[in-house]
Chain A
Amino acid sequence: MIRNPLKAIAIRTLCAVAMSGAVCAAHAQETMKIGVIASLSGGGTAWGLGLERGVQIAIDQLNAAGGLKLAGKTYKLDLIAYDDQYNAAQAKTAADRLVNRDQVSVIFGPVGSPGALGSLPVTEPAKVLQFVDGYAPQILRNQWKGAYVFRVNNSTQEFSGPIVAWLHKYAPNAKKIGMIAPNDATGQSGVPILTNAYKKNGFDVWTDSYERGTKEFTPLLLRMMAQNVDVFDLNANAPGEAGLLVKQARQVGYKGIIIQSGGAGIDELIQIAGPLADGMLKYDVIDETLPRVKPFVAAYHAKYSGVMNGLAPVYYNAANILFEAMRRADSTDTTKIRDQLEKMTGYDAPIFGKVVWTGEQDYGVSHQLLHTFVIKEVTNGKASVKAVITP
Chain B
Amino acid sequence: MIKSSTLESAPPPAFATQPASPATVVRPARRWLAHPVTVAVVLVLLVALPLVAHDKFVLSVAVTTFITAIAAASLHLIVRTGHVSLGHAAFMGIGAYVSAIATTDFGLAFPVAVCLAFLAPAALALIVGPILLRLTGKYFVLVTLLFGEIVRTVFVNWTDVTGGSNGISGVPAPSAYFSNPVPFYYLALGFAVVIIGIIGRLLASEVGRMIDSLREGEALARCSGVPVLSTKVVIFMLGCGIVGIAGALQAHFVHYIDPTSFALEQSLNLVVINVIGGMYTLIGPIVGTLFVVLLPEFLRGYVELQHVVFGIVLILVMAFFSGGIADAGVLFKRLGLGRGGQQ
Question: Are A96 and B56 neighbours in the complex by a CB distance under 8 Å?
Answer: yes
Mostly, the B contact residues are helix
Are A7 and B335 in touch, CB under 8 angstroms?
A: yes
Which single residue of chain B is at the shortest CB-CB distance from A92? B254
Q: How long is the Cα–Cα vector from A107 to B165 in the complex, in angstroms? A: 24
Chain B nearest CB from A103 CB (Å) reads 10
Please tell me if the beta carbons of A138 and B153 are within 8 angstroms of each other in the complex. no
A171 in contact (CB, < 8 A):
no
In angstroms, how far is the closest chain B Cβ from the Cβ of A102? Answer: 9
Cβ-defined contact, A88 with B309, below 8 A: no
Interface string of A287-313 (1 = CB under 8 A from B): 000000000000000000000000000
A17 to B339 CA separation, bound complex (whole angstroms): 25
Q: Chain B residues near A22: list those with CB within 8 A.
A: 297-301
CB-CB under 8 A from B254, the residues of chain A are: 88-89, 92, 118, 121
- The answer to whether B342 has its CB under 8 Å from any CB of chain A is yes
- Nearest B residue to A20, CB-CB: B298
Contact for A88 among B256, B303, B316, B319, CB less than 8 A = B256
Chain B 143-187, CB-CB to A under 8 Å as 1, else 0, gives 000000000010011010000111101100000000000000000
Closest B residue, CB atoms, query A48:
B303
* Min CB gap A126→B, angstroms: 9
The stretch that binds A, out of B124-132, B220-228, B257-265, is: B257-265
Residues of A within 8 A of B299 (CB): 20, 22
Q: A22-B300, A88-B254, A114-B258 are in contact. Are A188 and B339 (CB under 8 A)?
A: no
Question: A94-132: which residues lie under 8 A (CB-CB) from chain B?
Answer: 96-97, 99-101, 113-114, 117-118, 120-121
Which of A10, A87, A143 interacts with B316 by CB under 8 Å?
A10
Q: Across the interface, which residues of B come within 8 angstroms of A185, CB to CB?
A: 164-167, 258
Q: Is B32 part of the binding interface, using a Cβ–Cβ cutoff of 8 Å?
A: no
Mask: chain A, 184-204; 1 = CB below 8 Å from B; 0 = not:
110111000000000000000
Inside 8 A of A184's CB, which chain B residues have their CB? Answer: 156, 165
Query: Is there contact, CB below 8 Å, between B153 and A211?
Result: yes
**Which A residues, 243 to 274, have Cβ-Cβ distances below 8 Å to chain B?**
none
Whether B166 pairs with A188 at a CB distance below 8 angstroms is yes
Closest residue to A97 on the B side, CB-wise?
B57
Q: How many residue-residue contacts, CB under 8 A, span A and B?
A: 120
What is the minimal beta-carbon distance from A297 to any residue of chain B, in angstroms? 27
Q: What separation, in Å, do the CA atoms of A136 and B250 have in the docked complex?
A: 22
Q: From residue 41 to 88 of chain A, which have CB atoms closer than 8 A to chain B?
A: 41, 81-83, 86-88
On chain A, the residues within 8 Å of B258 by CB distance are 88, 114, 117, 185
Against A, the Cβ 8 Å flags (1 = close, 0 = not) of B275-287 are 0000000000000
B313 touches A (CB below 8 Å) = yes
Is B295's CB within 8 Å of the partner chain A?
yes
CB pair B156–A183 under 8 Å, yes or no, is yes
Roughly how many angstroms separate A101 CA and B58 CA in the complex, as a whole number?
8
A→B interface (CB under 8 Å): 1, 3-4, 6-8, 10-11, 13-14, 17, 20-22, 40-41, 81-83, 86-89, 92-93, 96-97, 99-101, 113-114, 117-118, 120-121, 136, 138, 142-143, 183-185, 187-189, 211
Residues of chain B touching chain A, judged by Cβ–Cβ distance below 8 Å, are 17, 55-58, 60-61, 64, 153, 156-157, 159, 164-167, 169-170, 250, 254-258, 260-261, 295, 297-301, 303-304, 307, 309, 312-313, 316, 319-320, 331-332, 334-335, 338-339, 342-343
Additional A-B contacts beyond A88-B256, A96-B57 (4; CB < 8 A): A22-B298, A97-B60, A114-B167, A185-B167
